[in-house]
Amino acid sequence: MNAVYDDIDRFAAVVFDMDGVLCDSEPFIREAGCLMFQRAHGVKVSPEDFKPFTGMGEDRFLGGVAERHGVKLTMPDDKRTTYAIYLELIKGRLAPLPGAVAFIQRCRQAGLKLAVATSADRVKMDGNLSQIGVPPEVFDVCVTGSDVQRKKPDPQVFQLAASKLGLSPSQCLVVEDAPEGIVAGVAAGSKCLGLTTSFTAETLRGRGATWIAPDLAHVPDDLMQRLAPGR
């Protein structure tokens, strides 16, 4: 039977977003998107065009920019092309963000369950995690945009991750960097640690983040106490 964890007790699991939390793949996926639009549609777009659609999954990531530029995408071919370019771009270049690997190890040593819950498709998650030396097998559960019908800010991805862990969302700490991800985590019933790798602390707090940190090397002490081994 699962225990019930309240505000003064410890979390049972940590659920990580991937991009902007474990690694900074945004520059590479934006570059890949720009190259796809140029090669497939002869249209020049800017990396900044993609920023409003960060964290929403690649369908919206590409689709939002296409709408702005009046481009009719050919899906799923354009997405496959983007991923093929992306996987070449990250080879030997994508690294874990500061503190990510050590934090994962510390959580595992504390007996916490671990999950990844990303809006990205499985192919991108597998490529990213392998590149940063934390393969999917490190986690108890991995949920991707391929596994859900509704992407963030809908809470479905976090609800599914918690369910697969055998826990309620309230027992899980969600680690996110995007406003849409914070909204999704809060809507699922989880408390959120917002990392300012992509957006400001004010923005993330405004969406409901309980804790704020620049990266996983600087997690607040009061939160670390809730991630300590159980008494």
Told to judge if 221 belongs to the known catalytic residues of this protein, a careful annotator would answer no
3-class DSSP assignment, residue 42: coil
Told to judge if 126 belongs to the known catalytic residues of this protein, a careful annotator would answer no
100, 128 Cβ separation under 8 angstroms? no
Residue with structure tokens 């990844």?
116
- As given in the structure block, the two tokens for residue 158 are 């976090």
Query: How do 141-143 and 172-176 pair as beta strands?
Result: unpaired
3-class DSSP assignment, residue 27: helix
**What DSSP string runs through 152-169?**
TTSTHHHHHHHHHHTS-G
- What is the CB neighbour count within 10 angstroms for residue 2? 10
Q: Using CA atoms, how far apart are residues 20 and 24, in angstroms rounded to an integer?
A: 5
Q: What CA–CA distances, in Å, run from 112 to 63, 94, 108, 161, 168?
A: 37, 26, 5, 14, 14
Q: Which of 231, 229, 230, 180 is nearest to 209 (CA)?
A: 180
**Sheet (strand 211-213) strand order:** 141-143, 113-117, 13-16, 172-176, 191-195, 211-213
Q: Which candidate in 6, 7, 19, 77 is catalytic?
A: 19
Q: Which candidate in 17, 154, 177, 215 is catalytic?
A: 17
Q: Which residues are the active-site residues?
A: 17, 19
